[in-house]
Amino acid sequence: MLTHRTPWSDRRVIDVLQIEHPIVLSPMAGLGTVDLAAAVSSAGGLGSIGCAAMEPELAAKTIRALRGLTDKPINVNFFCHVQAKTATDREEAWRERLLPYYRELGIDPEIPVPPVNIPSFDDVRCRIVEATKPEVVSFHFGLPDPTLLARVKAAGCRIMASATTVAEAVWLEERGVDIVIAQGYEAGGHRGTFLAQSLNSASWVIAVSDCSGCHAAWLTSVSSRKPCMSRSGGSPKCRLYSRLN
């Protein structure tokens, strides 16, 4: 049983997100559940749900279901990526690279790869945000069109977005993002890169705090109480940065 509470010394993230504890649940598109997100929000953290891979109707239903389980702040996540174009030479190159493993495991190397078509944040999804008004909306792979971003802000939502380099962090801060999620490649190769062409380890995160306008605000690991950020790919190697007005 806890007999006392140690106050969190840096309250910037807590105050910006209007939560009790500096804990953010990863949206985990396709894996996260409404019940888990609601439990985190109700416990004083920021519960998140990944809507990027959902059709608009399902996204709206999911957000309303989450809102029905908690009256605390919630975060909904979308992607802002540029749709990838199929490159036959690249497809053939990676198949050739993996051919020994296909053979070793008895897998037909000609088996078709199912296409993955995840839409970027658009007008339809923006209307859902305007209708449901989650307290926080987070984006991966940059930000939506400025007009859409302005509509999200006008709905009263705080904005979070991920960066994998100092340049990306500054780019986001210059566009008025409230929270910048800094990710290194320790995030398991699952990162929201949108300007960078090379990988960066978590050590680059420290450099962000030296940038003009980027103010460090730590979250903490539930298990170790060591300064770290929400886990992605199993590695606690991310920090959040809060934009102060």
Task: Give the pLDDT confidence of 120-150 residue by residue, as tens digits.
Answer: 899 999 999 999 999 999 999 999 999 999 9
| DSSP state string for 112-175 | PPPP--PPPP-HHHHHHHHHH--SEEEEESS---HHHHHHHHHTT-EEEEEESSHHHHHHHHHT
Domains of the chain by start residue, with CATH: 12-85+119-242 (3.20.20.70)
Instruction: State the pLDDT confidence band at 66, using cuts at 50, 70 and 90.
Output: very high
Q: How far apart are CA 96 and CA 90, in angstroms?
A: 10
pLDDT greater than 80 at residue 167: yes
158 vs 86, residue with greater confidence: 158
Q: Both ends of the chain: CA-CA distance in Å?
A: 39
DSSP state of 103: H
Instruction: State the pLDDT confidence band at 165, using cuts at 50, 70 and 90.
Output: confident
DSSP, collapsed to helix, strand or coil, labels residue 74 as strand
Q: Is 19 exposed, middle or buried (0-12, 13-18, 19+ CB in 10 A)?
A: buried
Whole-number pLDDT of residue 4 = 47
- Average pLDDT of span 84-91: 78
Query: How much of the chain, in percent, has pLDDT values that exceed 90?
Result: 43
DSSP, collapsed to helix, strand or coil, labels residue 234 as coil
What CA dihedral angle connects 82, 59, 234 and 17, to 10 degrees? 100
User: What residues contact 36, with CB distance under 8 A and at least 6 apart?
Assistant: 25, 47
pLDDT greater than 90 at residue 31: no
Phi and psi of 48, rounded to 5°? -130, 150
Q: How far apart are CA 157 and CA 139, in angstroms?
A: 12
Query: pLDDT tens, 180-218?
Result: 888 766 655 567 787 866 655 555 555 555 554 444 333
Whole-number pLDDT of residue 216 = 36
pLDDT greater than 60 at residue 222: no
Instruction: State the pLDDT confidence band at 5, using cuts at 50, 70 and 90.
Output: low
- Average pLDDT of span 153-172: 90
Q: Is 116 exposed, middle or buried (0-12, 13-18, 19+ CB in 10 A)?
A: exposed
DSSP, collapsed to helix, strand or coil, labels residue 56 as helix
